[in-house]
Amino acid sequence: MIQVSSFRRIIYSSQAVGEDGRSDHLAILRVSRRNNGMDGISGILWIERGRYLQLIEGPVDSVGDAFERIRRDPRHTDIQVLDDRRTDTPTFGDWAMAGLPGDHPAEAAERLRVLLRHAAPEVRHFFPLD
Ligand SMILES: Cc1cc2nc3c(=O)[nH]c(=O)nc-3n(C[C@H](O)[C@H](O)[C@H](O)COP(=O)(O)O)c2cc1C
């Protein structure tokens, strides 16, 4: 029997545009949490030194739609997809988007380690955990 995975996980990085990356980040998180909560999507949005690193996962169609919107967003550029795959085992629980602001680096790094402690090696591999 052929089994088609019903979840999709995309990990990408991009360059934040503009000088006020911090307020962009908070505004993006607010909208993401609202939309993702309705769409069954979860993930992590990490920002470090002006670059975003985002993991989004959830139902195939929802993730496809969200990523189409994200791709067109002028608040970032140089979008590089690092990983895009179907999966049966979502990495996260049921939060809509964990945000990890760059202004408390030690705290953020610790949170990232906690969030990813059960994540598969192919997910952990992309994040700065050491
Ligand atoms: C780095 C980055 C990450 C984003 N992540 C998400 C996301 O996870 N979910 C989402 O709905 N929108 C995300 N957005 C925002 C979308 O590009 C878009 O502005 C938003 O989905 C539009 O929602 P609205 O039509 O409800 O205003 C992100 C934008 C950027 C720049």
Q: Which of 32, 39, 75, 97 to mutate to test the pocket of ligand 1 (most atoms within 8 A of CB)?
A: 32
Nearest of 116, 130, 106, 118 to residue 11 by alpha carbon: 116
For residue 115, being part of any structural domain is answered with yes
Q: Give distance in angstroms: CA of 18 to centre of ligand 1.
A: 16
Report if residue 120 sits inside a domain. Answer: yes
CATH code of the domain containing 111 = 3.30.70.100
Atom of ligand 1 nearest to the CA of 45: 3
Comparing CA positions, the residue from 61, 19, 21 lying closest to residue 45 is 21
Q: What is the mean pLDDT of residues 58-65?
A: 95
HEC states along 63-78? HHHHHHHHHCCCCEEE
Is residue 64's pLDDT more than 80? yes
- Which residues have any ligand 1 atom within 6 Å of their CB? 14, 28, 31-32, 35-36, 45, 52, 54, 56, 66, 69-70, 73, 75-76, 97
**Low-confidence winner among 20-24, 57-61, 82-86 (lowest mean pLDDT):** 20-24
pLDDT reported for residue 86: 94
What mean pLDDT do residues 20-44 have? 85
Residue nearest to atom 23 of ligand 1 (CA): 31
Q: At what angle do helices 60-71 and 21-39 cross, to 10 degrees?
A: 160
Q: Is residue 129 part of a domain?
A: no
Question: Total domain count for the chain?
Answer: 1
Contact 107, 30 (CB under 8 A): no
The answer, yes or no, to whether residue 5 has pLDDT greater than 80, is no
Lateral strand order in the sheet of 51-59: 76-87, 7-16, 51-59, 42-48, 98-100
Q: Measured between alpha carbons, how far is 73 from 83 in angstroms, rounded to an integer?
A: 20
- Determine the pLDDT at residue 9: 96
Percentage of residues in the chain with pLDDT exceeding 90?
Answer: 48
**Atom 14 of ligand 1: nearest residue by CA position:** 70
Domain that includes residue 69, residue range = 7-124
